[in-house]
Each structure stands twice: as structure tokens, then as C-alpha cells.
Amino acid sequence: MTKNRALAEWVNEVVELTQPDTIQWCDGSEQEYQTLIEEMLTTGELVELNQQTHPGCYLHRSDPTDVARTEHLTYVCTAKSEDAGPNNQWMAPEEAHAKVDALFEGAMRGRTLYVVPYCMGPIDSPFSRCGVELTDSPYVVANMRKMTRMGSEALARIERDGSFVKGLHSLGDLHPERRFIMHFPEELAIKSIGSGYGGNALLGKKCHALRIASWQARQEGWLAEHMLIVGIENPQGEVRYIAAAFPSACGKTNMAMLIPPTQFEGYKIWTVGDDIAWLHVGHDGQLWAINPEAGFFGVAPGTGVETNPNAVEMLNRDTIFTNVAVTEDNQPWWEGLSNEIPKLDWTGKPYDATSGKKAAHPNSRFTVAANQCRSYSSMAEADTGVPISAIIFGGRRKSLAPLVYEAKSWAHGVMVGASVASETTAAAVGKVGVVRRDPMAMKPFCGYNFGDYWGHWLSLEQRAAKLPKIFHVNWFRQNEAGHFLWPGFGENLRVLQWVLARCEETGDAIESPIGWLPDKNAINTEGLAISPNAMEQLVSIDIPAWQQEMQDIAGFFEQFNDRFPQQLKRELDRVMGELSPTAKKKAANSA
Ligand code: SAT
Ligand code: MN
């Protein structure tokens, strides 16, 4: 089945352990995909949607206890616990292997074991990395085919390179008490059992392309980040690329597919990726990014013709929906798509609109090949990746964080990224809307100690001559009445325009202790119904609140002890000093 000895031996070991009835080596062909779909239609794992309006579209209703990532069951298993850091749950590798292997024992009896070779990134790019997922879920195989370059070509590359990440997955009995997502970065291995949900089960995504890859990236001198990549073409035809990190379900897919406001004639947006970026230092000293994925696993609710018309259009065919509702005529439906009242809710029961419950699960998803998106960039397939002009960090914050500000230096930018906080969303199990620190939007995804990770970020300055500028944005600021101050969506291009102007040393800015804020009229608000008062609120800072915030950040950093880089400590002290008037006065007196 393969010339690669390590792969053949590992498959044999897994077969012995899990006892599947059949083994299927996946080639990634259309025919193979169609056969899988037909099998799942027979077993009920998929139901057919309206094939007239949505050809090739199917719905998967997951187990109701298996609808999001389970961070409390996700572990990083390094030999030393300090290497996983306080940002991860840790288990000793032997213990973790023993624990999950006991659950894998005989787990595939009566099932098929699918061998899924995949490549993260363009098949011939030197930046791409391969993996093999062994799974007993045909839903996972079908999703991996949309999300990655899966099949024969990936296997050929594995046989050429000789290396791959080993991912073992089984649905197990789907019981939350027997659900674990274990990462062994030192062995380049993943073992996941008891869940069929995207981030837990499509192992190429968060498990490989973020947790394992971030570890590999540190060793090899690059970065694996939770970032979208978008190209902005101006009327002169010049394209600049931005990479932006936001926590899950904060609108990365919408931003990656943004439609320019009507006033921005001649502007075009090119989608390179919506979730993950792998960044390398090029020979020219710039950061170059590839999107390791080949598809979108996006949040359905809130995706509508107003918020993301490109997405709505791409979802009209060849899409796998998970946990959405369906209409009277069997079309997929979710909150924010239309005013129609759906017939069935996400569990398949008749929907009662008076119940006050949502019809689609708030974390319901679509899986679709990236090339179905009208704005998909041809550069997404380029082996070199795209050069990054700016890095943006953002969170969901009702208050405090201004619409946008620019870090004063690379090291300051790393501190800004390290102190990102956001209100939690439905993408992970747990309470929604609580503020938590989510450094670089990587809290659930960094495969090693954040202290070391920030040190690695800082070290790029020695290795890259032309690093991008770093910014922080907050699209989610609210006024006292709880209304969003900024319209968001396509209008965010107005902010990106200032960001790019800053990169070209043209945008007007005012220095503040937390960074450079846009000058009063620096953001183009032409044609936008926004009051000068709201705009003022959006680009100003509340000093006492920021002093409190910096105290909080300092407290958060304390847990990283001696792994916390001194350079970040100096940045923190500098910002705190600038925020404190007494410190300023003292400095002035001594000058
Ligand atoms: O973890 S998933 O990839 O399923 C979704 C997300 O949290 O971004
Ligand atoms: Mn994500």
C-alpha cells in the first residue's frame, strides 16, 4: 500500500490495536468521495439536502453532546510539563498513551479504518508539511478531502520526504467521559478519540496545523498561527497581504471574504485563507505566508447576503453542513440567512419558533473547498506563499480596546499579541461571553509553553530584516446602550486602509501610551452613517481603565515565571510607565 516503511508499520500496529473489519487507503478521488457520501446516506450519517437548489450538499447531525471543541479534554503531552506550559493541559506521554490506547483497543470492530494521507499547504511548496490520519469516520474523511490536499499526491510526497505527522482518530463511543484529544509534539503524533467534531476530529486542522506545527515551527524557525490571510488590491492593481489573528467565531471567515464598501471603487479583496497561516522568513527578509488548508470549516450562523455574500454563494453547491436547520423545502438554514422559519431544528425535530431557542446550533458549520469561493486568490496555490505587510491581532471586547491601534515596535507588537483578550464564543464548550486572555488567539492551539512561544516570536527580529508592522483591532466595541459602535463587515476595509497607509508611512496617527491611534480624520468615513462622537469614542483610550488592564496583563504573565521573556517585561513596564502620570512627571523632572 505504501513504500514508506514507517507508515506501513504504523498502520499495522493500529490495525492490531483497533481491530477494524476493513482497511481503506484513500486516494482522494471524486469517485471515492461519492462512494463515501452514498454510504453515509445509507447509514443516516448524512441526509440529502434539496439537490435542485443545493446540488452536492448534505447535512450531518452530530451527537448533541459533540458540537464544539472540548478544550478541557485536550492535552499536550511533552516529556517535561514545563514545555507544555501553564497554557496547556499536560499529561506525561506514557500515561497519555496508556489511557487512550486502552480506549482504542478494539474500537474499530465492525468499522472501516480509513488511511488518509494529506498535505497541509500546496503540494509542492517547501513550506508544506504532510500527515496521515487513520480514522473510522467517513464524515471525517469526506471533510478532510475538502479541507486538505488529500490522497495519492500527498502520499507520494510523504514517500518522497519520508516524514509525516501521525494522527489516530476514532469516534469511540462518543461518550464525553471517554473523549480525549492528545498531542505528542516530540513524537509528531496525535491521538483523538470520542468525538467527531471538526476541531477534535479533522486532525489536519487545529491538532496538526496549529498545535504540532507550532512546535515544529519553533524548532525550524517559522510560525504556525491562528490567522486568516487576505489580499487587498487597490485601484492601481497593487495587492498587499495582511494576516490577522482572532479567536474562533470572531468573524475571520467574513473578513477573509470581505466585500469593499461602495465608496471603495476599484478595490478588490482576495481570500488566501480564513483560519491558519504558516509564516516563514523569506530570502528578502520579509514574512511570507501560506494557508496550509484547502477549504473552509466556517460558522454558519450570521453568514448572510449582507454579512458575507461570497460565502452564501459558495455554499450553494458541494458543501457538507453540520448541525444547521432545514426549511420546508429541505434547504439548509441558520440564523442570519433569511427571515424564513425553518421546519426542522439542528437536532432534526420540528422547530417551534415560539420556543425562543435557536434553530441552527450556534456553532453549526459548513465545510467547503476553498476554490468554490469567488474571491479565492490564485496566490493561495503559490509555493512561495504571499508577502505579509501587516499583522493584526483582535479580540471581541465590548469596551476598552479602541477600533484600531499600531504597536510601536516588533517587541511591543508581540506584547500586544500576547495580551489579546476576548469574550468567549460557541466554538468551544463552556460559557459564552466571558472575557479571557487569548494570546495571539492561540490559547487553545499553541502546542508549547507560551513563554517560549513569545520568546520565539521576539527572536524573529534578529532573523528578518523587513518584518510587518503589528496592529490591534476591535470590531466589537459597544456604547452604553449595548449597541455596536462600528458597523463591521465590509466597512472594516476602512480600517485596513489606514493599516496599509501606516505600512507605507502615510497614514496620520497620534502617539499614545498603548500605541499609535488613528488621527481624528485618518479613517475614511465617507458614506458611513457614524456620528463624530462615536468615531471619537472608537479611537480614544480611557487611561485609568488601561492602567487596570495593564495590571491584569502583568498578573496574567506572572504564571509563566522564568519562561517569560525579559524583553516583554521591559515592554510591559514601559507601557505602564507611560500610562502613569507620576512616572511621566518623574521622567520629565529628571530630564
Ligand atoms: O476548532 S474548529 O476548527 O472546529 C473551529 C474553530 O474553533 O476555529
Ligand atoms: Mn479557528
Q: Bridge partners of 326? A: 332, 344
Residue 587's pLDDT is what?
Answer: 54
Task: Output the CA 213–ligand 1 centroid distance in Å.
Answer: 16
Residue bearing the CA closest to ligand 1, atom 1: 199
Count CA atoms closer than 13 A to 371's CA, side-chain side. Answer: 9
> What is the band of 271 on the pLDDT scale with cuts at 50, 70, 90?
very high
Among the listed residues 323, 400, 392, the one whose alpha carbon sits nearest the alpha carbon of residue 358 = 323
Name the residue ranges covered by the structural domains of the chain.
Answer: 5-45+73-221, 225-294+379-579
> What is the band of 520 on the pLDDT scale with cuts at 50, 70, 90?
confident
> What is the band of 564 on the pLDDT scale with cuts at 50, 70, 90?
very high
Residue 218's pLDDT is what?
Answer: 98
- Proportion of the chain above pLDDT 70, given as a percent: 98
Q: Mean pLDDT, to the nearest integer, of 209-217?
A: 98
Tens-digit pLDDT profile for residues 33-53: 999 999 999 999 999 999 999
Among the atoms of ligand 1, which is closest to the Cα of residue 252?
8
Task: Output the CA 1–ligand 2 centroid distance in Å.
Answer: 34
Strand residue runs (E) in 417-476: 421-423, 435-437, 469-473
Task: Output the CA 247–ligand 2 centroid distance in Å.
Answer: 7
> What is the band of 583 on the pLDDT scale with cuts at 50, 70, 90?
low
For ligand 1, say whether the CB of 198 is within 6 Å of any of its atoms.
Answer: yes
**What does the mean pLDDT of the chain come to?**
96
Among the atoms of ligand 1, which is closest to the Cα of residue 68?
4
Residue 543's pLDDT is what?
Answer: 96
Higher pLDDT, 590 or 408: 408
For ligand 1, say whether the CB of 427 is within 6 Å of any of its atoms.
Answer: yes
Task: Output the CA 291–ligand 2 centroid distance in Å.
Answer: 13
Among the atoms of ligand 1, which is closest to the Cα of residue 428?
7
Residue 233 pLDDT exceeds 80:
yes
For ligand 1, say whether the CB of 248 is within 6 Å of any of its atoms.
Answer: yes
How many whole angstroms separate alpha carbon 39 and alpha carbon 42? 5
CATH architecture of 5-45+73-221: 3-Layer(aba) Sandwich (3.40)
Q: Mean pLDDT, to the nearest integer, of 363-388?
A: 98
Taking the CA of 442 as reference, the closest ligand is 2
DSSP per-residue codes, 354-395:
GG---SS-TT-EEEEEGGGSTTB-GGGG-TT-EEEEEEEEE-
Q: Which of 163-167, 396-400, 511-515, 575-579 has the lowest mean pLDDT?
A: 396-400
Q: Mean pLDDT, to the nearest integer, of 549-577?
A: 97
The enclosing H or E element of 311 equals: helix 309-314
Q: Are strands 129-135 and 47-48 parallel, antiparallel or unpaired?
A: unpaired
Task: Output the CA 506–ligand 2 centroid distance in Å.
Answer: 32
Whether the full predicted model's pTM is greater than 0.95, yes or no, is: yes
How many whole angstroms separate alpha carbon 494 and alpha carbon 509? 15
Among the atoms of ligand 1, which is closest to the Cα of residue 226?
8
How many whole angstroms separate alpha carbon 525 and alpha carbon 528? 5
Taking the CA of 68 as reference, the closest ligand is 1
For ligand 1, say whether the CB of 208 is within 6 Å of any of its atoms.
Answer: no
For ligand 1, say whether the CB of 168 is within 6 Å of any of its atoms.
Answer: no
Count CA atoms closer than 13 A to 95's CA, side-chain side. Answer: 10
Residue 590's pLDDT is what?
Answer: 58
Cβ contacts of residue 590 below 8 Å, gap of 6+?
none
Catalytic residue set: 250
For ligand 1, say whether the CB of 310 is within 6 Å of any of its atoms.
Answer: no
For the domain made up of 225-294+379-579, give the CATH fold: Phosphoenolpyruvate Carboxykinase; domain 3 (3.90.228)
Tens-digit pLDDT profile for residues 140-157: 999 999 999 999 999 999
For ligand 1, say whether the CB of 67 is within 6 Å of any of its atoms.
Answer: no
> What is the band of 433 on the pLDDT scale with cuts at 50, 70, 90?
confident
